[in-house]
Amino acid sequence: MAILQDILYKTGIKSVKGTLDINIKAIETDSRKAAKGTAFIAVRGVHTDGHQFIDAALQKGAVAVICEIMPAQLQAEVTYVQVENTAIATGQMAHNFYGRPSESLKLVGVTGTNGKTTIATLLYKLFMALGYKAGLMSTVQNQIGDNVLEATHTTPDAISLNALLQQMLQEGCTHVFMETSSHAIHQHRIAGLRYTGAVFSNITHDHLDYHKTFEEYIRVKKSFFDSMPSEGFAISNADDKRGTVMLQNTQAKKYYYSLRTMADFKGKILENNLTGLVMNVDDQEVHFRLIGEFNAYNLLAVYGTAVCLGQDKHEVLRCLSVLSGAEGRFEYIVSVNKRIMGIIDYAHTPDALINVLSTIQKLRRGHEQVITVVGCGGDRDRKKRPVMGEAACSYSDKVIFTSDNPRSEEPSEIIREIEAGLNTAAKRKYISIVDRKEAIKAAVSLANPEDIVLIAGKGHEKYQEIKGVKYPFDDKQVLREVFEMLEK
């Protein structure tokens, strides 16, 4: 409950019709959720314009309307507030409505093309290990201390985001680590939040279906750093081509991490193999359980962020060295007898798949075969199917094409489209098995001792969506069962 006037702070009011001295029980951008006492905010989305639903919200009992264009007909008992931009106003109002929770927390946002979930999750785990109660908001899951909340898959909207921050604060969290996607920044879902720290991982050509050009994608990410307050800190990857541009105009204190040049947080890889990373970090030699060069970057980002948050360097490295990564991100299990290395990874785009497979190639000592199990989701970008097929074959010794989440499509048809991208050499390397469990079984059967089996595409997901039904399916669990069954 709040007074309308009190939650309009920083919303950029242009005009008001009616009284601002009314009680607001909830704020909503979805007219279907409006009820007695709701303030309805008309936001223009990609597909629909909330202004069309003002009447529907009023019928449900909304008492205030926040809009960019005043409706032609105004109702006498309703308050109308016209603002410059309702998406920004939603962020500000949500933050005000929930008591400006980010100002009482240390909130850190992580942005970049790859590594957001990994970095945010590692930060969360690190701060828990350091004895704090931490919150995590990621595409895999939200957590308040040890309590796991339902997975969301996307950054929540401004209203649920602030409600969650308030809950985290009320439950005693001191630090919150949040994956901040370029969509969330662009749609102003984070408007109003006060960040203590902003972290940049890297940038590649991804999400271009949404942000029409690469320049636009960079501009959106950079705007997150531009909006950081001077008391905050911004930390960036000095080895990424766009690493410096990101921090060019920020008011926040600037820090860089690097594996290649002088930087505030400097790391050097001493060993990088399938048992982990050995790195020299600020003159200390540390062993980490995470593997691959990209994780060396993620670890440096986490280390630098923790130090910027005032933590002791030695203590941070000690805790970090025993942490495992985020679920389904280059997660591995080794079979007991044949020492087959099974890797589960969420890679479901050609870019990510090549990334993961080239990391595996670099980790190989020479004799191991790489056997990849992969598919493509249905009802999604069809153009990537042949490219995924090509990528899997060029970087693996053997490939088994299978189903991912076929959704409404025919699984065998999707596989045919993947196969269409294969050249003659690639055609000798693969087989296709529609059933994902059978495919994993086949991959493990083909493996010799110490070979590497990559199961790509689904990572942490616990289901497989076939013809509109979600069936329980967990790559890691299935792999464990297959290892046990075949090594009896």
Ligand X SMILES: Nc1ncnc2c1ncn2[C@@H]1O[C@H](COP(=O)(O)OP(=O)(O)OP(=O)(O)O)[C@@H](O)[C@H]1O
Minimum gap (Å) between residue 302 Cβ and Mg ion: 15
258 binds, among Mg ion, ligand X, none (CB under 5 to 8 A by kind): none
- For residue 268, the cross-strand partners are 280
Residue 341 amino acid letter: M
Q: Which is nearer to ligand X, 88 or 176 (CB)?
A: 176
Q: Which 296-315 residues touch ligand X, going by CB under 6 A?
A: 297-298
139 binds ligand X (CB under 6 A): yes
Return the ∠ at Cα 321 (arms to 349 and 395), rounded to 5°: 30
Residue closest to 289 by CA, chosen among 300, 306, 305, 277: 277
Pairwise CA distance, residues 228 & 196, whole Å: 8
345 binds ligand X (CB under 6 A): yes
Alpha-carbon distance values, 179 to 120, 138, 154, 200, 215 (Å)? 6, 5, 9, 11, 21
79 binds, among Mg ion, ligand X, none (CB under 5 to 8 A by kind): none
Binding track over 77-116 against Mg ion, x by CB under 5 A: ---------------------------------------x
Secondary structure element (H or E) that encloses residue 82, with its range: strand 79-83
Structure-block tokens of residue 236: 């960036």
Residue 383 amino acid letter: K
Alpha carbon dihedral 271, 273, 275, 276, in 10-degree steps, equals 50
Q: Which is nearer to Mg ion, 79 or 349 (CB)?
A: 349
Minimum gap (Å) between residue 345 Cβ and ligand X: 5
Q: Which 142-201 residues touch ligand X, going by CB under 6 A?
A: 179, 201
Query: What does 357-414 look like in DSSP terms, one character per residue?
Result: HHHHHHH--SS--EEEEE---TTS-TTHHHHHHHHHHHH-SEEEE--S--BTS-HHHH
- For residue 80, the cross-strand partners are 17, 65
139 binds Mg ion (CB under 5 A): yes
11, 111, 117, 182: which one binds Mg ion (CB under 5 A): 117
Minimum gap (Å) between residue 85 Cβ and ligand X: 25
Name the DSSP letter for residue 325. -
Q: Which 409-468 residues touch ligand X, going by CB under 6 A?
A: none
Residue closest to 317 by CA, chosen among 264, 291, 279, 268: 279
- Residue pair 233/308 in contact (Cβ under 8 Å)? The answer is yes
217 binds ligand X (CB under 6 A): no
236 binds ligand X (CB under 6 A): no
142 binds Mg ion (CB under 5 A): no
Q: Which is nearer to Mg ion, 7 or 137 (CB)?
A: 137
135 binds ligand X (CB under 6 A): no
38 binds, among Mg ion, ligand X, none (CB under 5 to 8 A by kind): none
- For residue 179, the cross-strand partners are 110
321 binds, among Mg ion, ligand X, none (CB under 5 to 8 A by kind): none
346, 395, 401, 430: which one binds ligand X (CB under 6 A): 346
Minimum gap (Å) between residue 412 Cβ and ligand X: 26
Footprint on this chain of ligand X (rule: CB under 6 A): 114-118, 139, 179, 201-202, 294, 297-298, 326, 329-330, 345-347, 352, 355-356
Site residues (CB under 5 A) for Mg ion? 116-117, 139
